[in-house]
Amino acid sequence: MFSVTEIPTRTHPLQLREEFLTGHRCKISPERLSRGLDTVYSPPPAVPDCPFCRDRIFSVTPTFPDGKRICIGESVTFPNLFPFAEWHTVTVITKRHHAEEFSAAEIRDAMVSQIQSLADAEGYKSINWNYLPSAGASIAHPHLQGLADRRPPYTAEKYLIGGLRYLLKHGTRYWDDLVQQERESPRYLFGDELFWYAHHVPLGEREVRCIIPASCTEDFLPYLDSFVEGLLRILQFYRNLGTHAFNMSLFFDRSVNRNGFSAFCSVISRINPNASSTSDSAFMERLHGEPVILTLPEEFARNLRNGTRV
Ligand SMILES: [Zn+2]
């Protein structure tokens, strides 16, 4: 399902990996970790007049056409004022402006709100999370973002088209074969019905994927509790490693399709917020489309399975 090519250098080991289904490539250079670019985590400073804090959220955020917002538990959901999709909703997860950790109930309520906010939308849906400014959160107050568009996100489209092509060629679902292979691999993390593993050709640092036995948002609800439990476990492990910022995307097929697609979640860790604006996205990630990864997926998975604290 992927190839590994060792690239000769005069100094440190370097791998080029390529995923056959999507053509996605990355480079893995474990020795770059020793440069220690990430800083020790410290919480971002409080910002006055946050639009997502309770004293402002119900006056400055927009409402849905019926004049309401969706409120489940502490979560509050409303349309994005500056959308970058045909449907773009925002779910503020908690009252707390800054949260180091989240309860399962908080994440579950927020996810249910997201699914509800996208229920009337057609097209391809995704639920997304940028946590902390260094991961791209323009408002630090923790929030999810739901998108729905008539065309799938670029990443999801690669798997939708590739997975269908795979099914026609092999007569088996790509996702079943992937799970079967990864279960026996050093990248397996945990889970069975929901399958968690360190992806073999990562999109970003310490990428974890969860393969879900559902294709669209409607089918996902029965698995939500199990999903939240797994996600919180991954985020705890990131924190154990000292890395707090992350991105998450959960990709779904259109409701009407039954092409053997499995919804999946991708989570990557990001550099901690830092005073010098050091970034973990440079020309390789932004222009070449070939991210430089520092952590070997097999090494990451071994540490997580062993419960290593760093
Ligand atoms: Zn706030």
How many angstroms separate the alpha carbon of residue 108 from the centre of ligand 1?
A: 20
How many angstroms separate the alpha carbon of residue 224 from the centre of ligand 1?
A: 26
Contact 5, 19 (CB under 8 A): no
Q: What pLDDT is recorded for position 138?
A: 92
Q: Mean pLDDT of successive 10-residue segments in the chain (310 residues)? A: 96 96 97 84 85 96 97 98 96 95 98 97 96 94 97 97 95 97 98 97 98 95 98 97 96 84 97 92 97 97 81
How many angstroms separate the alpha carbon of residue 155 from the centre of ligand 1?
A: 31
**What's the pTM value of the predicted model, to 2 decimals?**
0.96
In angstroms, the first-to-last Cα distance of the chain is 31
Tokens at residue 171, please? 């007569």
Tokens at residue 189, please? 């993390």
Closest C-alpha to 294, from 241, 236, 251: 241
Closest C-alpha to 114, from 72, 51, 157: 72
How many angstroms separate the alpha carbon of residue 47 from the centre of ligand 1?
A: 8
Q: What pLDDT is recorded for position 43?
A: 83
Q: What pLDDT is recorded for position 48?
A: 85
Q: What pLDDT is recorded for position 307?
A: 82
